[in-house]
Amino acid sequence: MSARPPRVVGRRGEIARVPFSVVNPATEQTIVELDEAGVDEADQAVARARAAYPAWRAVAPNDRARLLRRLAALVEEHGEELARIESQNVGKPIVGARAEVGMAADVLHFYAGAVDKHHGETIPVGGGVDLTFREPLGVVGLIVPWNFPLNISSWKLGPALACGNTVVLKPAELTPLSALRLAELVLEAGIPEGVVNVLVGPGRVVGQRLVEHPDVAKIGFTGSTEVGRGVMRGAAGTIKRVTLELGGKSANVVFADADLERAAAAAPYAVFDNAGQDCCARSRILVERSAYDRFAELLVTATGALAVGDPADDATEMGPLISADHRERVASFVDGDVLFRGDVPEGPGYWYPCTLVEATNDDRIAREEVFGPVAALIPFTDEEDAVRIANDTPYGLSGSIWTENGARALRVARALESGVLSVNSNSSVRHSTPFGGFKQSGFGRELGLNALDGYSEVKNVFVAT
Ligand code: TXE
């Protein structure tokens, strides 16, 4: 079946009358021009999702699972195409983009399989029978950032659809292309019209409208902590449910008893992956003082070996930043003791070099999310000091612990105020394991079976017998 046009709400909005360009950050060339949606279009998208809701929630679980499986299969089948779209629109290396598309397919397969495994229970009570049901919420608004557009869309779409909700998906203005293609595949999979609606427009206009709209039951948001605060405030008017996945300033804690070679070889990928535009970036590298000099030397060598260049090239490991404005913001963080600054390609593209800065945890570079290829190296004296520094941040999203001492690894993992940790690894996300933050990195969990709790409501029914 050929793809019908996506339900893109793209008619020119009242507020933004100028079509906007979607740009390739590696070339600064326009890929396509789109019209921005405004408040009216947001309302239309919500109305369509609302109209589609009764029929979608009534679809038998088997059939809903089958439709999600078909969508997952289509994402796999169109994997190379989606990876190229994502690579061009975000400027991310094609190899990484392929892996992200693979993960999006895994996520959709996982939630297809979860449709009939997330259910209520019977609770022993006197005088009758007590039952709980997992009910869908209704229309949910999914607001997605520009760093992992397709991946993060799938993390929200999978559980939302599996639970029987209909959705309005709002990609970031800079990176709407993979969501638009996904919307076509949704239809091709046989998921009915109106179940998934993609809304391309400015966050402060259409995103805000979704947040305040009385017919939207929940917002699943990933983005900056600052906008996340506004989402929480905006959602208060209608007591909307919110899941917030926000910024991070995660620590990569390297003890002197770690395999230093392995830790140093991995550390650049923990912070320069996706050009550092990753909420899980371990952008504070904490190193035990007795191993500091040796580790710094190894880290500089490993960072210098990163292949920075054309995202379309299979050998490339780091591409440009998302935009010129963002590059300016990233650059504003770098002063002080620069230990290493890499090279970038000449010519067009929003390039910024891999940068290592020696810092203290009080420096701005260690306090705020840079969201670029800039890491702060910070020494610590012992385990207690490491935990103190790692936790001395308003954020709490991810982090790594490098040590050959298993008991210490567990002790430190329990002590860190962070939602997602890895030991002797950079790994943060898997389709089957919970992902989300402590403190100002947000709340609610994505991925794994936990995400289903965020897209359903528990109903309790007592039947007197
Ligand atoms: O995020 P925004 P931006 C951090 C990172 C980055 C900074 C800015 O530090 O440098 O945020 O990035 C929509 N109501 N992260 O500007 O603005 C917006 O259209 C409703 C961390 O991209 O938070 C987009 O779809 N929605 C992060 C989404 O929110 C609104 C990922 C995110 O945009 C809105 C990205 C509003 N008033 C950036 N205003 C992570 N945790 O991975 C904007 N949006």
Residues 111-131: tens digit of each pLDDT: 999 999 999 999 999 999 999
Please confirm, yes or no, whether 245 is among the known catalytic residues.
Answer: yes
C-alpha of residue 23 to centroid of ligand 1, in Å: 18
Closest by Cα among 369, 333, 392 to 249: 369
What average pLDDT is seen over the chain?
A: 95
231 Cα: distance to centroid of ligand 1 (angstroms): 11
Catalytic residue, chosen from 173, 245, 288, 446, is 245
User: Which portions of the chain are predicted below pLDDT 70?
Assistant: 1-18
Of all residues in the chain, the percent with pLDDT exceeding 90 is: 94
Q: What is the pLDDT of residue 8?
A: 45
Query: Candidates 152, 180, 213, 227: which one to mutate for ligand 1, based on the most atoms within 8 Å of Cβ?
Result: 227
- Residue pLDDT, tens place only, 222-256: 999 999 999 999 999 999 999 999 999 999 999 99
Ligand 1 mean position, distance from CA 207 (Å): 10
Please pick, among 36, 173, 212, 279, the residue that the annotation labels catalytic.
279
Ligand 1: which residues within 6 Å by Cβ? 143-147, 170, 172-173, 203-204, 207-208, 211, 222-224, 227, 230-231, 245-247, 279, 369, 371
Instruction: Please name each of the domains of the chain with its CATH number.
Output: 18-246+441-464 (3.40.605.10), 251-431 (3.40.309.10)
